[in-house]
A and B are shown apart, each in its own frame.
Chain A
Amino acid sequence: MYRILDLTDEKGLLCGRILADLGLDVIKIEKPGGDDCRNIGPFWKDIHHAEKSLFWFSYNLNKKGITLDIMKRRGQSLFKQLVERADAIIESFPPSYLSELGLDYDSLARGKPNLVMTSITHYGKSGPYKDRKSSDLVANAVGGYVYITGPADRPPVRISKVDQAYCHAGSHAAVGTLIALICRNRLGLGQHVDISIEESVVWTLMYVQQYWDLTGYIYPRSGVFAHRTNLNVRQYWPCKDGYVGWRIFLGSSGGSFGGEGVKRMVEAMGEEGMAQGLDMVHWEASGMDDVTQEDITFWEERFASFFLTHTKRELNNIAERKGIPLFPISTPADLIDNVQLNSRHYWVDIEHPELSDTIIYPGPFVLCDPPLGELRRRAPLVGEHNSEIYEQELGISPQEMTDLKEEGVI
């Protein structure tokens, strides 16, 4: 089982989480007293406390936790002992931080050529912007995602409440770390994996870059609408108790994703006498290039009226019955109640004995047979596994542990 030393902060926590979920032995290393990102909310029962951050819980599930001050000499020597027994290090410090401590990849790989190190930085380990100060919002902005997000008549936005750029980077970091570990099996040598948060955002733009490259068109934001070069097609619709996702798509290809699906929607509306203006349209015969914005808007008014008379659940039932690709825009409550997730037993209960609580968490991100890992334990408390790692594994005596604590090394 691979051992991973996780030195990341909020910019990379998801990396170690993914690896831990796959069964790797991930040790989160925090500074004594706990990492600063334990101050990121939301919090358990809204109590702002280092052991009650739901953000921390989310992205450190399945990891062990130890404390260590790598700025101190003794801490660095302990760290090197840990590195000897580890397969990979993941970190998200500013680009030159670890080299100033003599703990960068080149320094450590000299003594351990099969070491893998994955570094997550805002712009990459090198380059003209490598020392620029950034944040999740800034990363989403410079990476092109903000520009295409939100309503057209307001300042553009990012997805709020959870730092998405950091999630993207963390997920790619997990992939990169595993690629390097596999490569090590072939070459006998480790390597340095360099993740750029900005670049991770650019990766999500789908075709924005090709729109400019191939047609000179700067792809705009369009709020609730899906945008094709001359058309805005609504994809999120208000309904009686929230929103649903669906869109008009014309043509005969794609089965229910195309004109066939729209026809079925119109049939459903017809069952309630609400298909006027729609039932004579040949949804499968034409294509998206054959219609005008006026056509789309005219039709959308009618679909909009229909959706407003139904709840998410009712519309989802109609969609399921008729095989239409319409789905609710889920609130967290909808997710917990989601029939499909529950039929796959997705939600898991994780014990938090210190809180006398059991918390419902999202389940495994894939299902494998044979299984790859499981959701075993809650995120670590500060220094929870100090004794296991330092005393039992490294053989440090209880007296020395006391000294290390007093010196602020752990």
Chain B
Amino acid sequence: MNSQVFEDIKVVELCWAGVGPIICSYLAYFGAEVIKVESESRPDPTRTMPPFKDNIPGINRSGFYGNLNSNKLICSLNLKNSKSKDILKPLIRRCDIVVESFTPGVLERLGFSYEEVKKLKRDVIMLRTCMLGHSGSEMNRPGYGAILSGLCGFPLLTGYPDTEVAGTATSYTDFVAPQFALASLLMALDIRSKTGQGRYIDQSQFESSVHFMEPVILDYTVNKRVRSRDGNRSSYAAPHGIYPCQGADRWVAIAVFSDEEWLALCSVMGRPGLAEDEKFATLDLRIRSEDELDRCIEMWTKNHTAEEITELLQRVSIASGPVADGKDIHKDPQLKHREHFKVLDHPERGKCTFDSPPIILSRTPGGMRMPDPCASQHTEYVCTKILGMPDDEFLNFLSQGVFE
């Protein structure tokens, strides 16, 4: 069956950067028509961020922007130009969902509060997503994904006891918050199809994201304990860690959950003495001597490649796998099997890869139909073909700087 789940759904995207565009690209992947409103003179900042094709910057050359904005139509509108309302209003009138992620207050000042939007489309589902939410004493404080990851506290759980906090250079919560927004949006869509009722959804990405560390929070609210970073250790497995392998910066992940697995590991390592060592006989004992335990494992792993270790351990059913870098994941045969990376031809970047959502539906699989749009690429199409604007009216708007 070729029909796409959301092929009847129309989305107006008023979003920048991470969470908003990710939410919309997820919907677009499953067939929704997403019209992204972006200003040519003030484009989505991710267009100006690396990686650029061949390291040459350009407004259409960013893979960062590209990966978050596939399958979308773009309409360039300068929202500061008051005439832009005459295009945004009809776009909203015909849509099902409006997603916006500006700093609180911006959309109100432009005249598109929820109350105003509802006047245009009575049953609209309006999702407003921002770092701190659309109410509260600090709501006007601007933020972004990387800083939210810090505010949630994830860096305190990352790294070693004797190092500073750590993180990734990615915006971690930008890949946590969208799923919560999407689940709410989908529920709202479903209810509307049965009742005709629209909905206002106010997502504080902060409030969504801390659910990923809920047990740590409860450990504090109940036990007054503040958990801190502990390398790769686990409270219910040992050995459990990242071990060095042959090659520069090559590592393998190994996780042993039972005493049987521990014995199997000793056997594979060719260390029967370890298997008999009382010091490591149970999980609790292994955790107690974990430094020494890890050194034993390292002595073995550093003489093999990560792939060899994985092969050997998989044969005895021990959880294991190589630490993949940015090149490795492109070569991963399982990801290839899932067609995770879709290749599309982009007008400026040529053939390039896009990530697919990690879900495969058996009947309506979704798909990567179009690469991310170039700046302004569909402005005329959206106005004349989708909104049915006569050519002279379009030219009139053009001359008034509405599309800048």
A178 partner, pick from B160, B186, B363, beta carbons under 8 A? B186
Question: Among A19, A161, A326, A335, which residue has the most Cβ atoms of chain B within 10 A?
Answer: A161
Q: Are A368 and B215 in contact (CB under 8 A)?
A: no
B-side binding surface: helix, strand, loop or mixed?
mixed
Kindly state whether residue B292 has any CB partner on chain A within 8 Å.
no
Q: Are A256 and B166 in contact (CB under 8 A)?
A: no
User: Which residues of A, 268-287, contact B by the 8 Å Cβ criterion?
Assistant: none
Kindly state whether residue B163 has any CB partner on chain A within 8 Å.
yes
Q: Are A255 and B355 in contact (CB under 8 A)?
A: no
Q: In whole Å, how far is A179's beta carbon from the nearest beta carbon of chain B?
A: 6
A212 partner, pick from B137, B326, B357, beta carbons under 8 A? B326
A156 partner, pick from B67, B152, B200, B251, beta carbons under 8 A? B251
* Alpha-carbon distance between A325 and B341 when the two chains are bound, in angstroms: 34
Known contacts A254-B45, A343-B138; decide if A156 and B171 are in contact (CB<8 Å). Answer: no
Residue count of chain A within 8 Å CB distance of chain B: 158
- On chain A, the residues within 8 Å of B189 by CB distance are 182
User: Which residues of B, 129-180, contact A by the 8 Å Cβ criterion?
Assistant: 132-133, 135-139, 141-144, 146-160, 163-172, 174-176, 179-180
Which of B75-83, B202-210, B379-387, B391-399 is near enough to bind chain A? Answer: B202-210
* Alpha-carbon distance between A238 and B319 when the two chains are bound, in angstroms: 36
Q: In whole Å, how far is A301's beta carbon from the nearest beta carbon of chain B?
A: 15
User: Which residues of B, 334-355, contact A by the 8 Å Cβ criterion?
Assistant: 334-335, 337-338, 340-341, 349, 352-353, 355
* Alpha-carbon distance between A346 and B133 when the two chains are bound, in angstroms: 11
Question: Among A136, A157, A180, A219, which residue has the most Cβ atoms of chain B within 10 A?
Answer: A157
Known contacts A209-B341, A229-B50, A368-B184; decide if A202 and B329 are in contact (CB<8 Å). Answer: yes
Known contacts A209-B353, A236-B150; decide if A18 and B170 are in contact (CB<8 Å). Answer: no
Q: In whole Å, how far is A312's beta carbon from the nearest beta carbon of chain B?
A: 11
User: Which partner residue on chain A sits nearest B125 by CB separation?
Assistant: A368
* Alpha-carbon distance between A360 and B214 when the two chains are bound, in angstroms: 11
Q: Known A-B contacts: A196-B338, A289-B57, A329-B150. Give 5 more (CB < 8 A).
A: A127-B333, A146-B253, A158-B158, A189-B363, A245-B147
Q: Are A215 and B157 in contact (CB under 8 A)?
A: no
Q: In whole Å, how far is B197's beta carbon from the nearest beta carbon of chain A?
A: 7
Kindly state whether residue A110 has any CB partner on chain B within 8 Å.
no
Q: Are A222 and B226 in contact (CB under 8 A)?
A: no
Kindly state whether residue B211 has any CB partner on chain A within 8 Å.
yes
Kindly state whether residue A387 has any CB partner on chain B within 8 Å.
no
Which of B86-94, B217-225, B267-275 is near enough to bind chain A? Answer: B217-225
Q: Are B226 and A331 in contact (CB under 8 A)?
A: yes
Q: Are A366 and B181 in contact (CB under 8 A)?
A: yes
Contact with B along A150-167 (1 / 0, CB 8 A): 110011111111101001
Q: Are A253 and B355 in contact (CB under 8 A)?
A: no
Which of A69-77, A169-177, A290-298, A397-405 is near enough to bind chain B? Answer: A169-177
Q: Are B139 and A340 in contact (CB under 8 A)?
A: yes
User: Which partner residue on chain A sits nearest B193 by CB separation?
Assistant: A185
A330 partner, pick from B67, B151, B232, beta carbons under 8 A? B151
Q: Are A161 and B333 in contact (CB under 8 A)?
A: no
User: Which partner residue on chain A sits nearest B225 by CB separation?
Assistant: A42
Kindly state whether residue A58 has any CB partner on chain B within 8 Å.
yes
Q: Are A144 and B251 in contact (CB under 8 A)?
A: no
User: Which residues of A, 190-245, contact B by the 8 Å Cβ criterion?
Assistant: 191-196, 198-200, 202-215, 217-219, 221-229, 235-236, 238, 243-245
List 15 A–B pairs whose Cβ atoms lie within 8 Å, in order of A's numbering. A45-B222, A124-B338, A142-B324, A144-B325, A157-B160, A159-B158, A171-B183, A180-B361, A193-B359, A204-B170, A205-B170, A215-B51, A215-B53, A327-B148, A362-B207
Known contacts A157-B231, A320-B141, A343-B136; decide if A335 and B179 are in contact (CB<8 Å). Answer: no
Q: Are B150 and A142 in contact (CB under 8 A)?
A: no
Contact with A along B41-62 (1 / 0, CB 8 A): 0100100101111110100000
Kindly state whether residue B117 has any CB partner on chain A within 8 Å.
no
Kindly state whether residue A341 has any CB partner on chain B within 8 Å.
yes
Contact with A along B278-320 (1 / 0, CB 8 A): 0000000000000000000000000000000000011001111
- On chain A, the residues within 8 Å of B180 by CB distance are 18, 171, 365-366
Contact with A along B220-249 (1 / 0, CB 8 A): 111101110111111111001111100000
Q: Are A22 and B184 in contact (CB under 8 A)?
A: yes
Known contacts A137-B232, A154-B163, A253-B42; decide if A147 and B323 are in contact (CB<8 Å). Answer: yes
Contact with B along A318-352 (1 / 0, CB 8 A): 01100101111111111110011101101000000
User: Which partner residue on chain B sits nearest A355 by CB separation?
Assistant: B222
